[in-house]
Amino acid sequence: MRLHIDWTACDGRGVCTELLTEMLTEDDWGFPVLRNGDTVPPPLDGAARRAVDRCPMLALRLVT
Amino acid sequence: MTSVVEQVERRLLAGTGAAGPGRLPVLDPSQIIGMARDAGLTGRGGAGFPVWRKLTAVAPGSVVIANGAEGEPASGKDRALLAYQPDLVLDGLQLIGMAARAGTAHLYAPKAALAPLRAVLAARHDRLPVTLHAAPDAFVSGEETAVVSAIGGRAAVPSDKRIRTVDKGFLVQNVETLAHLALIARHGPGWFRTAGTADEPGTFLATVSGAVRRPGVVEAGYGVRLGELIAAAGGPAAELRAVLIGGYHGGWVPADPALPVSRRALEPYGAAPGAGVIVALPRNACGLSETARIVGYLADQVAGQCGPCVNGLPRMAGTLADLAARRPEPGLAAEAQRLARLVSGRGACRHPDGTARLVLSAMRAFEADVAAHLNGRCLAVEGPR
Ligand SMILES: Cc1cc2nc3c(=O)[nH]c(=O)nc-3n(C[C@H](O)[C@H](O)[C@H](O)COP(=O)(O)O)c2cc1C
Ligand code: SF4
Ligand code: SF4
């Protein structure tokens, strides 16, 4: 599973970076940055799903 | 209008005659895909993606689009092609229409290029009717998803690519790519491969500008020596400092006449032939100032959608401008490189990636200039010492 960010929708308020700190950090302007690529490690599956569900802009998706 | 200058190789721009149009054969989808694959035809719009793979992926009934937007200011080859060989482009559009069993075909190009095309279209009896669309004059208006949006009557700005454009039922090909396909249909893949290299077959159109005597469009096979391309454009107008290859999303390379213009040979410089844009920088011009000017332009062309691009490109432009203005801040080059890496891959389109490529190549190619600028000096103005 991979994490996809729709950059045209993301507003950079950082809900995801808080819910998924293992995968995401913030850039200079608060937008999410992938720490180590977009592949979701299996142990983070649940956290990734939560981040997707809570993204207020529906900018996050899990893709295969 | 960019003029066509001397040719290293004559195919697309041979004029009616030698490779001249003649009748377009009727082919079925598998024949068209097969010949594109055997020829090794890649996209001429910048990314160099194999055409046959897109033709294989596209579903029957898709919409086919010829992309002649050419938003890149230093490029003139698509306009030249549409002016001199519109029938080749329109034949190629019919061919991808046949391959995709398309219901509709569109041609998208700057307004000025469309008027003459109306008459050309009226004189043809195409199986698939072609609708013309005006491309706005903006750098990103030719990006694939921006093209699809514009064809649909919406703003010509890129959109998210979670679902690939072909999977949404749109096949977008650059107009030069289509013209090559039309020649392959007539002369065969074997003929196509007699120009270029084994890995990178065929010819490409280069727009050569900057410090050359006769700027214009040149056709040559991939692997042509940089010196030959520049010679075809009248030769250097001054001693050269560096050459920008691949346009504003491209990379700076040394002004080495022996350097082959191919993906393989340019890769070590972080450059690629891209859409064939070649800009010669004279010795008395500063590479850092020129890069700062281009990055400033690219930052202005951001389609205000994606945070990292909207924020990152202006910041990168500011950093480059400080460097060009010889501000004595030792961290400037490292900051430009950090920002370039930070924005890469973080937009709906590859505008940030292309801009980052240019910045990273400038920091390598003009390393000595960076050192001089940080000491308040400029090699272009003063000479090395
Ligand atoms: C910012 C940006 C601008 C682009 N502008 C053009 C353009 O003006 N014309 C073009 O053919 N391709 C342009 N492209 C590339 C297209 O997205 C697409 O890859 C191309 O039209 C596909 O055709 P090809 O495979 O035949 O090259 C641009 C890409 C980007 C990222
Ligand atoms: S939660 Fe959604 S909108 Fe907010 S920063 Fe993350 S991806 Fe962007
Ligand atoms: S990456 Fe930049 S240029 Fe491309 S769509 Fe997003 S904001 Fe526009």
Secondary structure (3-state) at B108:
strand
DSSP state of B87: H
State pLDDT tens for residues B15-26: 544 445 567 888
Nearest-5° Cα angle at B205, B175 to B252: 115
Partners of residue B309 in chain A, C-beta under 8 Å: 7
State pLDDT tens for residues B236-270: 999 999 999 999 999 999 999 999 999 999 999 99
pLDDT (mean) for B117-139 = 95
- Mutation target for B interface from A31, A60, A61, A62: give the one with most B CBs within 10 A: A31
The CATH number for B4-192, chosen from 3.40.50.300, 3.40.50.11540, 2.40.33.20, 3.30.930.10, is 3.40.50.11540
Residue B137, both tokens: 């004059």
> How would you list the strands of the sheet with B63-67, edge to edge?
B130-135, B104-110, B63-67, B170-174
Residue B142, both tokens: 């030719």
Which atom in ligand 1 lies closest to the alpha carbon of residue B178? 26
State pLDDT tens for residues B334-378: 999 999 999 999 999 999 999 999 999 999 999 999 999 999 999
DSSP state of A42: G
Please say whether the structural domain B203-282 has been given the CATH code 3.30.70.1400.
Answer: no
Nearest CA to ligand 1 atom 29: B143
Q: Tell me, what's the pLDDT at A51?
A: 97
Query: Total domain count for chain A?
Result: 1
Domains of chain B: which residue ranges?
4-192, 203-282, 289-374
Distance CA B82, CA B70 (A): 11
Distance CA B244, CA B116 (A): 32
Nearest CA in chain A to B158: A8
Residues having CB closer than 6 A to ligand 1 are B 43-47, 49, 67, 69-71, 139-140, 142-144, 172-174, 177, 349-351
Residue B217 scores a pLDDT above 60:
yes
H/E stretch holding B56 reads helix B51-57
**Contact by Cβ (8 Å): B147, B171:** no
A64 touches B at CB < 8 Å: no
A38 touches B at CB < 8 Å: no
Distance CA B340, CA B206 (A): 27
Which residues 317-356 of B have a C-beta within 8 angstroms of A? Answer: 342, 346-348
- Integer angstrom CA distances of residue B214 from A25, B230, B238, B244, B247: 50, 9, 12, 17, 18
B159 CA to centre of ligand 3 in angstroms = 8
Pairing of strands A32-34, B203-210: unpaired
Model confidence, pTM: 0.95
- Backbone phi and psi for residue B161, each to the nearest 5 degrees, phi listed first: -115, 30
Q: Tell me, what's the pLDDT at B384?
A: 54
DSSP state of B11: S
Distance CA B371, CA B379 (A): 10
- Mutation target for B interface from A3, A8, A27, A62: give the one with most B CBs within 10 A: A8
- Mutation target for B interface from A1, A7, A16, A62: give the one with most B CBs within 10 A: A7
What fold characterizes domain B289-374?
Answer: de novo design (two linked rop proteins) (1.20.1440)
Distance CA B127, CA A7 (A): 40
Partners of residue A10 in chain B, C-beta under 8 Å: 306-307
Distance CA B324, CA A11 (A): 32
Residue B88, both tokens: 């080749």
H/E stretch holding B332 reads helix B332-343
Query: The CATH number of the domain where A11 resides is what?
Result: 3.30.70.20
State pLDDT tens for residues A29-61: 999 999 999 999 999 999 999 999 999 999 999
Please, which residues have CB within 8 angstroms of residue B83's CB and are 6 or more apart in sequence? B1, B113, B116
Separation of CA B353 from chain center: 14
Separation of CA B104 from chain center: 25
Partners of residue A9 in chain B, C-beta under 8 Å: 160
Q: The domain containing residue A15 runs over which residues?
A: 2-63
H/E stretch holding A54 reads helix A45-54
Partners of residue A8 in chain B, C-beta under 8 Å: 158-160, 305-306, 348
**Contact by Cβ (8 Å): B173, B45:** yes
